Amino acid sequence: MLKKNWIQGATTHKGALHRHLGIPIEEKIPQALLRATARRKDKVGAEARLAITLGKLRQKKKHSTNPTLGH
């Protein structure tokens, strides 16, 4: 069974991926570098894969086409 709050347990070392890649925390990691790092089979690769997964959770919602909402 899946844990309800798995994200809190998965992100224990904040900024670790930035430190491993040598990118300051205030800058975003480029997608190309993130995808290339995700191919690695070590801890850094696992962190990159998790970053890609968590990035997908943040997609902007599309505007509703429901006419009753008045948008």
d(CA 15, CA 12): 9
Q: Which residue type occupies 63?
A: H
pLDDT reported for residue 30: 94
Query: Residue 13 carries which DSSP code?
Result: S
Which DSSP string corresponds to 15-61? THHHHHHT--TTSPPPHHHHHHHHT-SSHHHHHHHHHHHHHHTTPPP
Lookup: tokens for 29: 């990691």
| Mean pLDDT (whole number) for 10-36 | 91
Q: How far is CA 34 from the centre of its chain?
A: 10
Residue 5, pLDDT > 70, answer yes
The structure's pTM equals 0.69
Extents of the domains making up the chain: 18-56
